[in-house]
Amino acid sequence: MHTHVATTHTKSEILQLLVQLGLTSGGSFALWRKPKSNTLEIVLDDTAEPIKVDLNIEKLEPGFIIHPFADQTDKKAFFIKANKYFSFQLDTPLTSDELPEWAKVQLKNQLSLSPQDIRDELVSRTMTAHTQSSKISEEKDHFIQLVDKAIQAIQENQLEKVVPARTKTIPIPTDFDLSCTLLSMMEAYPNAFINFFHLPNVGTWIGASPETLIETKGDIFTTMSLAGTQKATEDNPLKSVAWTQKEIEEQALVSRYIVSCFKKIRLREYEEHGPKTVVAGNLLHLRSDFRINMQETGFPELGSVMLSLLHPTSAVCGMPRKEAHDFLQEYEGFDRSFFSGFIGPVNLHGSTSIYVNLRTASLHNDKATLYAGAGVTEDSDPEKEWEETELKCQIIGKFIQNPNT
């Protein structure tokens, strides 16, 4: 009699199988791990054509939403339906028996791909995807001039703050191992939203976002204001941290904006906690948290309402919002695509968690384009802002260049 022995897989093998399933399905898929969580989740929709949906979050089926930085004329976002869903605990070994039926069936008909094969598959899948970055967005001179222009516009009282961005393109090494890279990022950044998503012919992105845009769970709605950046030094950076007036003011601006959104919709009852210093990768930020009971305040659709009021936040665009947005459209010189847009799981297990797509890179052909922005106020120093974007690019860049960092 033949006894069946279930093979136990390492988390790296499981992740590799899931990425393989996603890439070979010909459809869209996303995998992620939420901040302070140990659960890896994946949704897969094997329809070849990525779908778009309206931003009525409460009415959407379970899935994963992806919205670019710029407002879309059709007011829609890309959406990966959770036609297939799977999650597992990263700290518990998994046997092949515990994989969902759909995964077992698909894997049965496929040869197991090596990390090298997956890299090649990734490259062939992203060949057609249009790369968004332009030569100008890679140049230091252009960025320095952009910051100078921004400071001038602020001095002339056209803007209070603006967040110019830039790109940096690096080669994807031939021994790039996607599942290793993702796991290393999960280990290094426990407080970030680690994510990877692929929309056929649209884009393939990898990231570690420190910023929640909105979250709803049951009756509770939460959002945060995150701003100010400095390098985390020493063993206990939180003890020795000191913030300048510029950074404190920059973060207060974001908080005031969130409160003004509440006022706009006549929402008076909210809790505000902070600001406090938080660690994100090798950087420190100032953060305040806001919490609202949607049941008690009679705002069942607060998620959708706040999403449209908050995006793009002053942390990725500037203040006043419209003027800052127009300034960036005119002078930034490239299409941000999904960078500083928003992404995240919607209506899964009764909760929605949407994050600002920061600390992110788009993968195309055998290159990765890293994106970073810096908050410019009247007291900004262009050279320092450039250095800040370099640090931000490193957060993902170092894992792509050397997955075992």
* pLDDT tens per residue, range 142-163: 999 999 999 999 999 999 999 9
Tell me what the pLDDT averaged over the chain comes to. Answer: 91
- The whole-angstrom separation of Cα 206 and Cα 351 is 22
In degrees rounded to 5, what are phi and psi of residue 288? -120, 145
Q: How many residues make up the chain in this entry?
A: 405
**In contact, 273 and 25? CB cutoff 8 Å:** no
* Interval 285-308 mean pLDDT: 95
- The whole-angstrom separation of Cα 365 and Cα 368 is 8
- The whole-angstrom separation of Cα 288 and Cα 273 is 6
**In contact, 305 and 299? CB cutoff 8 Å:** yes
pLDDT digits (tens, 9 = 90+) for 351-371: 999 999 999 999 998 899 999
- Res 237 pLDDT > 80: no
At residue 268, the pLDDT reads 93
- The whole-angstrom separation of Cα 350 and Cα 58 is 10
Tokens in use for 267? 């929402």
Token pair 């197991």 is at which residue?
112
pLDDT digits (tens, 9 = 90+) for 38-65: 999 999 998 989 999 999 999 999 999 9
Higher-confidence residue of 75 and 275: namely 275
At residue 124, the pLDDT reads 84
pLDDT digits (tens, 9 = 90+) for 183-208: 999 999 999 999 999 999 999 999 99
Query: Which helix or strand (DSSP H or E) is residue 40 part of?
Result: strand 39-45
Please count the helices (runs of H) and the strands (runs of E) in the chain: 11, 21
At residue 239, the pLDDT reads 77
* Interval 96-121 mean pLDDT: 84
* Interval 98-102 mean pLDDT: 87
pLDDT digits (tens, 9 = 90+) for 214-226: 999 999 999 999 9
- Res 101 pLDDT > 60: yes
Token pair 């509770």 is at which residue?
220
Question: Band of the pLDDT at 131, cuts 50, 70, 90?
Answer: low
For residue 116, CA distances in Å to 9, 31, 67, 172, 206 come to: 19, 20, 30, 12, 18
* Interval 372-393 mean pLDDT: 94
Question: Band of the pLDDT at 249, cuts 50, 70, 90?
Answer: confident
At residue 283, the pLDDT reads 85
At residue 97, the pLDDT reads 83
**Among the listed residues 257, 341, 352, 255, the one whose alpha carbon sits nearest the alpha carbon of residue 34:** 352
At residue 128, the pLDDT reads 61
- With a pLDDT cut of 70, the percent of the chain lying above it is 95
At residue 134, the pLDDT reads 65
Question: What is the CA 247 to chain-centroid distance, rounded?
Answer: 23
> For residue 261, how many other CB atoms are within 10 A of its CB?
17
Question: Band of the pLDDT at 20, cuts 50, 70, 90?
Answer: very high
Question: Band of the pLDDT at 5, cuts 50, 70, 90?
Answer: low
- Res 254 pLDDT > 60: yes
- Res 405 pLDDT > 60: no
* Interval 152-181 mean pLDDT: 95
- Res 139 pLDDT > 80: yes
At residue 109, the pLDDT reads 78
